[in-house]
Amino acid sequence: MGRVTALTLFALTVRAQVPAGAPILLDRIAVTVDKQVIAESDIIRYLRVAAFLDSKAVDLSGPARRSAASTLVDQILMMIEASDSHFVLPTAEGVPALLRQVKMQYSSDDAFEDALNKYHITEQELGDHLLAGARAERFTDLRFRPEVEISDSDLRSAYDKYVTQWKAAHAEPPPSFEESRANLETLLTGQRTLDDLDKWLVTARMQSHIDYRAAAFQ
């Protein structure tokens, strides 16, 4: 028996779920990252959930799809590195807590369900999206934050900029350097962690075979 590909398995699954005689529409591959696949439906689902969380209209244009696909590629690259590094990331057990944070923004369960229906997404899809974001955030902290070093000179420079901005918006004197130190260190550490992530992603993309299928972004 020949090798069964992931696409073949997908097709078999679809056929098993579709009544006899009904037309079969296969999900189109949008991006491949080495041997992993991002389907066009993955991109559309990402855009719908992201729009739901931002309370914005859903943008399914070509440029929006490409941007979403790039984010999904980055998530795959981060998860590969996390696995290789044996990082412990959030699991599905944390999804209910993530969902509760979103539900708190709605007046009732019915209002929450109505909003999901408006964006044509399910609670499961929302939970998956939130979990992916939590995993990416934890990966970033574990992989890059320990390497960040903030000097006293860095803090002094950041404080000078902070004081300038403060004086432009407030009449009273700004907090002292020592009072601001902890917040400034947290801010600088976060900024440099994200900068290091961006640099790493550039290299990771170059070292991977990533193929964007143009037809999925038109």
pLDDT at 218: 87
- Per-residue pLDDT tens digits for 112-123: 999 999 999 999
pLDDT at 26 (0 to 100): 60
Residue 7 confidence (pLDDT): 39
List, in order of start, the domains of the chain with CATH numbers. 6-148+182-217 (1.10.4030.10)
For residue 85, give the 3-state DSSP assignment. coil
In whole angstroms, what separates CA 64 from the centre of its chain? 14
Q: Which residues of the chain have pLDDT under 50?
A: 1-25
What is the SS3 assignment for 95-150? Answer: HHHHHHHHHCCCCCHHHHHHHHHHCCCCHHHHHHHHHHHHHHHHHHHHHHHHHCCC
